[in-house]
């Protein structure tokens, strides 16, 4: 048995009563004005019987008019309010149940539905954004799990092999080095994840201070001296002296270290890595160029995405977080980063930042 909706009945009676009062007021005013004009202008005298009959007819008309208005208002509300509201609430229930593919079809270009279409447009954008966030979350978890498992599996295998009896010193050193390298890779991955998470959640606030960017670039470059010596890489520098900027030196050091690290990783033995720093009155530009394997145009569109690795043959050389971290830091510093690359010819990253307002200001050594 269907349950009686007393709330709905009360709402209908309430609407009818409102329309009844409105119609009674309007009709009473009109009838009073009509009788007054007829009496004063034409001299017609209305008897008590005539007035009583007119009052009854007027009351009946008021009831009919109010009923008619109530029916029209109910039909209007059913089509213009209840129908779009139900469509939105049904879609909202699906969204709360985790169906981020749900979209609401707008109600055309009618002015009557303009407000609902605005709500629908916002809802569809919200659903699309939530779908993107869910996809990123799923991919992030999958990629993190994979990136964590790989070095752990390698360390476990090397640890097992180290337990083999009669192992030579050469093999022992090789296996121990494998464990050390993969533990460093694991530590780097966790560090980058934490830093990127803090940056994206605005938990790291840049502290701007004036410092010598030229000196910072040289210091970052010298940290890779062992690598370029080992691989016989030719270093070419063109760094202007005493270039000062107002920025967070600690965060920017992440940018230069990641760009230089990639340059040395992907440059073959005997290759060349170039670092340049140029400046004009408003901006400074740092360029890191290598003669490594290069990247394809398709890969270039995604290299700043988390965990993206276009060339799986180099997957063991990184975790796909470095450039995402670089892009986020540069964005926070209100700078720009661009990449130019050709497969087999090398890659060039260019970072552009604002220069200090007071040009030429030097700190005392």
Q: Decide if pLDDT at 139 tops 70.
A: no
Q: Is residue 104 part of a domain?
A: no
Q: Residue 326 is part of a domain; what is its CATH number?
A: 3.30.565.10
Of 36, 67, 99, the last residue of a domain is 99
List pLDDT tens digits, range 151-206.
788 888 889 888 888 888 888 898 898 899 888 878 877 776 777 677 666 656 77
Q: What pLDDT is attached to residue 316?
A: 41
* Residue 53 included in any domain: yes
Give the up-direction half-sphere exposure of residue 82: CA atoms within 13 A in the CB hemisphere. 8
Residue 179 CB neighbours (<10 A): 18
Classify residue 112: in a domain, yes or no: no
Residues 192 and 70 in one domain: no
* Average confidence (pLDDT) over 107-113: 68
Same domain, 216 and 307: yes
Question: Based on the domain organization, do 177 and 226 belong to the same domain?
Answer: no
pLDDT digits (tens, 9 = 90+) for 24-40: 777 777 767 666 766 66
What would the DSSP string read from start to end of 252-304? HHHHHHHHHHHHHHSSPTT-EEEEEEEE-SSEEEEEEEE-SS---HHHHTTTT
Which residue range is the domain that position 163 belongs to?
140-200
Residue 347 lies in a domain: yes
Closest C-alpha among 129, 75, 78 to residue 103: 129
Residue 245 lies inside a defined structural domain of this protein:
yes
Say what the pLDDT of residue 351 is.
94
Q: How confident is the model at residue 300 (pLDDT cuts 50, 70, 90)?
A: low
Query: Are 252 and 304 contained in the same domain?
Result: yes
34 inside domain: yes
Percent of the chain with pLDDT over 70: 74
**pLDDT for 349 beyond 90:** yes
Judge if 17 and 146 occupy the same domain. no
Q: Does 33 share its domain with 144?
A: no
Give the pLDDT confidence score for residue 200 in this predicted structure: 63
Q: How many domains does the chain have?
A: 3
In a domain, 326, yes or no: yes
């Amino acid at each position: 048995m269907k349950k009686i909706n007393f709330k709905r009945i009360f709402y209908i009676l309430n609407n009818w009563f409102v329309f009844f009062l409105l119609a009674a007021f309007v009709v009473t005013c009109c009838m009073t004005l009509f009788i007054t004009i007829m009496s004063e202008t034409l001299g017609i005298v209305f008897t008590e019987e005539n007035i009583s009959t007119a009052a009854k007819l007027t009351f009946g008309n008021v009831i009919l008019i109010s009923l008619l208005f109530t029916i029209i208002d109910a039909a209007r509300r059913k089509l213009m309010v209840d129908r779009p509201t139900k469509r939105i609430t049904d879609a909202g229930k699906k969204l709360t149940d985790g169906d981020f593919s749900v979209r609401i079809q707008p109600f055309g270009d009618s002015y009557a539905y303009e407000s609902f279409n605005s709500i629908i447009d916002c809802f569809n954008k919200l659903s699309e954004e939530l779908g993107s966030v869910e996809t990123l979350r799923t991919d992030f978890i999958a990629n993190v799990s994979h990136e964590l498992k790989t070095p752990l599996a390698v360390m476990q295998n090397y640890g097992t092999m180290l337990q083999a009896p009669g192992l030579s010193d050469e093999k022992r050193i090789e296996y121990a080095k494998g464990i050390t390298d993969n533990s460093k890779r694991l530590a780097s991955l966790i560090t980058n994840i934490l830093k990127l998470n803090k940056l994206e959640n605005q938990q790291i606030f840049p502290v701007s201070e004036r410092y010598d960017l030229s000196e910072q670039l040289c210091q970052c470059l010298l940290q890779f001296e062992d690598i370029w010596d080992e691989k016989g890489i030719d270093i070419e520098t063109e760094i202007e002296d005493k270039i000062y900027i107002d920025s967070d030196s600690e965060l920017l050091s992440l940018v230069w270290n990641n760009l230089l690290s990639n340059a040395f990783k992907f440059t073959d033995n005997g290759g060349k890595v170039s670092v340049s720093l140029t400046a004009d009155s408003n901006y400074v530009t740092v360029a890191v160029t290598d003669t490594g394997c290069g990247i394809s145009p398709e890969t270039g569109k995604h290299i700043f995405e988390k965990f993206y690795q276009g060339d799986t043959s180099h997957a063991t050389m990184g975790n796909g977080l470095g450039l995402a971290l670089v892009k986020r830091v540069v964005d926070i510093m209100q700078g720009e980063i661009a990449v130019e690359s050709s497969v087999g010819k090398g890659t060039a990253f260019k970072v552009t930042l604002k220069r200090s307002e007071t040009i030429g200001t030097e700190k005392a050594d």
